[in-house]
Structure 1
Amino acid sequence: MFAVLKTGGKQYRVQAGDVLRVERLAADAGEKIQFNDILMLGGDSPVIGAPLVAGAAVQAEVIDQIKGDKVIHFVKRRRKHSSQRTKGHRQKLTLVRVTDILASGADASGVKAAIGSGSVSGASMAAAAPAVAGEVSGTRPANLLTEARGGKADDLKKISGVGPKLEGLLHQNGVFHFDQIAAWTESEIAYMDDQLSFKGRIARDNWLEQAATLAADKE
């Protein structure tokens, strides 16, 4: 059996024994984690999610927290010889080994969800610690979800300041509905600001008021 999982905005086809390098997860070396965003299960009886396969998961063991190869970014502007810049970057990654693929019963496995900048599973988010202590401000919202209720998300782009990219980030972080945003506290807003990398955007564009109005219009 193999599975197609989603984490860090990327998709991976995996089977037991595979070793993956994924975007940094909140887990220590030797810890067992569980990826709950499963898009497909393959084998004798393939199952395709809509968009996720309910109850399915991929369990893995964290081998180490590593950094990727250095990427050099060099900028030089024409006719401005004094304007040039070289920047190096090494992406933070987590090295994991796949141990098991669950076709069902993931909710009752008791294994910590794989949580990171791009990997969100709402069922276990409240109990999961941030990737690095002190780096994330605020409090993780308690109303985040694994998937949209009824399989249909609200059109979050109706909120002024939310485009396709931000809507995608909100979905990755477990936000699918207007009422979720409308219920955030100041501490939860600070947390989501960090996750979306747009400091102050939520308060500046009055997301909570807009979301409350849009949620009321749906009723």
Structure 2
Amino acid sequence: MYAIVENGGKQYKVEVGHLLHTEKLNGVAQGDKVVLDKVVLVKTDDGKVLVGKPYLTNVTITGTVVEHARARKVLVGQFIPRKGHKTIKGHRQWYTTIKIENIEIK
């Protein structure tokens, strides 16, 4: 069984037991329970596919916050030829890791 969930403007495929790396969830501490309720699609073990318009209201996905961390550095540069100008800046994006525990269809 798997589901497609929307979080932070992006869609993720989740399964029970997998780790999900999403945009940072503010106000949630490590070890807290999280409910993901914007479920777009669910495929059950017996082959049934449930599609929401736009979301499924009878499906909830629960998980536990494992950690808040920062991703690898992404370098952004600018180069202007014949002017002697070159700048390089780095950026590290915050993310939250969630362990998916349950996909419940009511």
Q: Same fold (TM over 0.5)?
A: yes
C-alpha distance in structure 2 between counterparts of 1:99 and 1:53, whole Å: 19
Between the aligned residues of both structures, percent identity stands at 28
1:46 is matched with which residue? 49
Matched, 1:37 2:35: no
2:77 is matched with which residue? 74
Q: What is the Cα deviation at residue 97 of structure 1?
A: 0.3
Q: For 1:29-66, what per-residue CA distance to the aligned partner results, in whole angstroms no more than 9, with x for missing partners?
A: 10000111100010122100111111212111000100
1:96 is matched with which residue? 98
C-alpha distance in structure 1 between counterparts of 2:4 and 2:58, whole Å: 14
Q: Give 1 or 2: higher helix fraction.
A: 1
C-alpha distance in structure 1 between counterparts of 2:86 and 2:60, whole Å: 47
Q: For 1:107-161, what per-residue CA distance to the aligned partner results, in whole angstroms no more than 9, with x for missing partners?
A: xxxxxxxxxxxxxxxxxxxxxxxxxxxxxxxxxxxxxxxxxxxxxxxxxxxxxxx
2:66 is matched with which residue? 63
Q: What is the Cα deviation at residue 8 of structure 1?
A: 1.5
Any unmatched runs of 5+ in structure 1? 105-219
Q: What is the Cα deviation at residue 72 of structure 1?
A: 0.4
Describe the SS at the equivalent of 1:50: strand
Query: Aligned letter for 2:32?
Result: E
Q: Give 1 or 2: higher strand fraction.
A: 2
C-alpha distance in structure 1 between counterparts of 2:6 and 2:105, whole Å: 16
Decide whether the 8 Å contact of 1:41 with 1:103 is kept in 2: no
Any unmatched runs of 5+ in structure 2? none
Describe the SS at the equivalent of 1:51: strand
C-alpha distance in structure 2 between counterparts of 1:100 and 1:9, whole Å: 22
Query: Aligned letter for 1:98?
Result: I
1:201 is matched with which residue? none
C-alpha distance in structure 2 between counterparts of 1:77 and 1:103, whole Å: 56
Given the two structures, how large is their TM-score scaled by the length of structure 2?
0.91
2:89 is matched with which residue? 87
User: Which consecutive segments of 4 or more residues in structure 1 shift more than 4 A?
Assistant: none
> What are the equivalent positions in structure 2 for 1:140-155 lying under 5 Å apart?
none
